[in-house]
Amino acid sequence: MIYPIVVYGDPVLKRKAKDIEKGSIDVKELSEDMFETMKAAHGIGLAAPQVGKSLRMFIVDGRPLEEDDMMDFVKVFINAEIVDESGDEWNFEEGCLSIPGIREPISRRPKIRIKYFDENWEEHEDEYDGMKARIIQHEYDHIEGTLFTDHLSPFKKRLLKGKLTNISKGKCDADYRIKAPLKSR
C-alpha cells in the first residue's frame, strides 16, 4: 500500500515519535508499505511520521545512489537510538520527501553508533560512517521531530519561509502523492 507523504507544516513531523511495543503493530507490513511508498517517490530514506504515524521506525535504501557500498544498504530501524556521534562535521546538500523542491547544505558528524531492532525484532548495535551515517541521521531526526530545515540559520529559514508555507498549502511540485496540512479542499 502506498501512503501519501505528509509534508511540511503537519504537526506529526514535529512530534517526538513513540517507541513501538513488540507485537502492537505488524512491523513487517508497515515496513513493506513504507518501502513501496519510498520507492514510488524515489527516496533513499523514509520515517514513519512521514506516512502520518508517530512511531520510532524508519527505513533506508541507498541503492538509487548507485554506489558500490550502497547496494546492500536496505534496512529497517525500529526503536533506534543513536548512542554516539563523532568526527568533524561535514556539509552535504540534503533534501526530504516532506519538503519537496528544497535542498540545503546541512552539517553533520561523519560517524555514528546506533542501537535498534530490525523487522524481525533482532537487536543490533552498528557503526556507520559517511553517506550511510548521514541518511540515518536525517531519518533519525524525523523520529525525534526534527526536519533538516531546523538545522538552518535563522536567516536562511527566513529566506525559505514563503516556499515552506506554499509546501504546507500543497503548492509544490512533487511527482508523488502528498498530504498537505493547509491544503484547502
Q: State the residue number with the nearest CB to Ni ion.
A: 96
The yes or no reply on residue 178 touching Ni ion (CB under 5 A) is no
96 interacts with Ni ion by CB under 5 A: yes
Chain center to CA of 36: 15
Question: Judged by CB under 5 A, which stretch of 23-31, 89-97, 123-131, 172-180 contacts Ni ion?
Answer: 89-97
Instruction: Compute how many other C-beta atoms are within 10 angstroms of the C-beta atom of residue 129.
Output: 13
Closest contact distance (angstroms) between CB of 97 and Ni ion is: 6
What's the Cα-to-Cα distance from 23 to each of 27, 30, 115, rounded to whole Å? 8, 13, 19
For residues 7 and 96, which CB has a smaller minimum distance to Ni ion in the complex? 96
Query: Which of 38, 96 has the CB closer to Ni ion?
Result: 96
**Do 147 and 96 contact (CB within 8 A), yes or no?**
yes
Torsion sign across C-alpha atoms 74, 92, 165, 101 = negative
Amino acid 165 reads: T
CB of 22 to Ni ion, least distance (A): 26
| HSE value, Cβ hemisphere, 13 Å, CA-based, for 78 | 19
Q: Give the x/- contact pattern for Ni ion in 40-69, rule: CB under 5 A.
A: ------------------------------
Which residue among the candidates 94, 104, 119, 139 is catalytic per the annotation? 139
- 119 a catalytic residue: no
